[in-house]
């Protein structure tokens, strides 16, 4: 059986932003938001839509740190003080299932091998099909409308 793993980002890389005053965040190129609607603030650590009243940090994140023409960064939301990343095998979190997504498959050299825009409800089947190609090393999922990185998908070990 083909198995895949979707993981949220490691929260330790964002700790320098947590608890900082707004002026310090601005100097770091980031901004704090108090969530005022849901969905609307998708956290990239826990892979869930934040609830009204929670705080999110908007910052630039280099999600594709590879030595290829596809090296890339974009804005993401991270729940302030998030500690435990999402990590599941063969499960697609609701935060992805409910959105229009752009999916991009890459080989081990960071070169794109396939891409598609799709409804999140069919993400699972697209992942399974993409991983039938042995050259696919990982898949990056983005929110199609705003282009933000959403999650990384890898083959489960």
Give tens-digit pLDDT for 61-70.
998 888 899 9
16-68 pLDDT, tens digit per residue, is 999 999 999 999 999 999 999 999 999 999 999 999 999 999 999 998 888 89
- Enter the pTM of the model: 0.93
Closest by CA position to 13, among listed 50, 42, 44: 44
Which residue pairs from 52-57 have beta carbons closer than 8 angstroms and sit at least 24 positions apart in sequence?
Answer: 54/79, 54/80, 55/79, 55/80, 55/81, 56/32, 56/80, 57/14, 57/17, 57/18, 57/25, 57/30, 57/31, 57/32, 57/33
Q: How many CB atoms lie within 10 A of CB 22?
A: 10
Residue 70 phi, psi dihedral angles, 5° rounding: -90, 5
- The predicted pLDDT at position 105 comes to 98
Q: Give me the sign of the Cα torsion angle 56, 60, 61, 64.
A: positive
């Amino acid at each position: 059986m083909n198995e895949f793993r979707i993981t949220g980002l490691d929260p330790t890389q964002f700790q320098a932003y947590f608890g900082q005053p707004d002026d310090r965040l601005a100097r770091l190129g980031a901004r704090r938001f108090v969530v005022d609607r849901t969905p609307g603030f998708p956290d990239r650590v826990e892979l869930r839509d934040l609830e009204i009243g929670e705080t999110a940090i908007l910052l630039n994140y280099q999600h594709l740190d590879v030595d290829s023409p596809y090296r890339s960064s974009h804005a993401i939301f991270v729940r302030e003080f998030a500690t435990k990343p999402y990590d599941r095998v063969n499960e697609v979190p609701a935060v992805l299932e409910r959105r229009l997504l752009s999916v991009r498959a890459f080989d081990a050299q960071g070169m794109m091998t396939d891409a598609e825009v799709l409804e999140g409800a069919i993400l699972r089947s697209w992942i399974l099909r993409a991983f039938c190609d042995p050259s696919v090393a990982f898949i990056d999922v983005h929110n199609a409308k705003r282009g933000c990185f959403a999650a990384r998908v890898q083959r489960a070990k």
